[in-house]
Amino acid sequence: MDIREVLSGGDLRSVGHVDAVVAYVGNDPDRFSELMTGLTDDRPVVRMRSADAMEKVTRHHPELLRAHQSSLFQQLQIAIQQEVRWHLAQLMPRMTWTEEEAADIAHVLTDWIATETSAIVIVNALQAIFDLSAVHPRFRDELRALLETQLEEGSPALKSRAKKLLQKL
């Protein structure tokens, strides 16, 4: 199976055959590595669906991310496609980061919160910083400020998520 070809076709409004790819990859590290190559594909639809499949696979097999941690860290810093960004934000807390790496991730995610137009990217970035702050408590003050800003200025979906996260903080 050529994973990237299976994920191609259609447009960004559909998930295509992501579920079939998730089932095919399972917990196989080699197949997951194939899936990783989709993040740098020339086709936006393949990049989006690869990121989606990676997120779905690693819900149950986060250990597959370990071998790709540095690549994903690089992708976080260069990804501009919103559909890829929202999945990368979901993946970051599933890996173990040093304090310095986590600070770099939080910085990128904070930039996204300030500049993105996609509510999904912003919600997932807030959630990722929240999840990282469970391991790295130094982000809690910054997170609280970000959440309070969303409570005042965010869309209804962002206000709702901010309120929930503030209650858990």
Tell me, what amino acid is at 169?
L
pLDDT by position in tens, the chain (length 169): 899 989 998 888 888 899 999 999 999 999 999 999 999 999 999 999 999 999 999 999 999 999 999 999 999 999 999 999 999 999 999 999 999 999 999 999 999 999 999 999 999 999 999 999 999 999 899 899 999 999 999 889 899 999 999 999 8
Both tokens of residue 67? 């071998």
Q: How far apart are CA 44 and CA 71, in angstroms?
A: 18
Tell me, what amino acid is at 66?
R
Tell me, what amino acid is at 78?
I
Both tokens of residue 21? 């790819």
H or E segment and range at residue 27: none
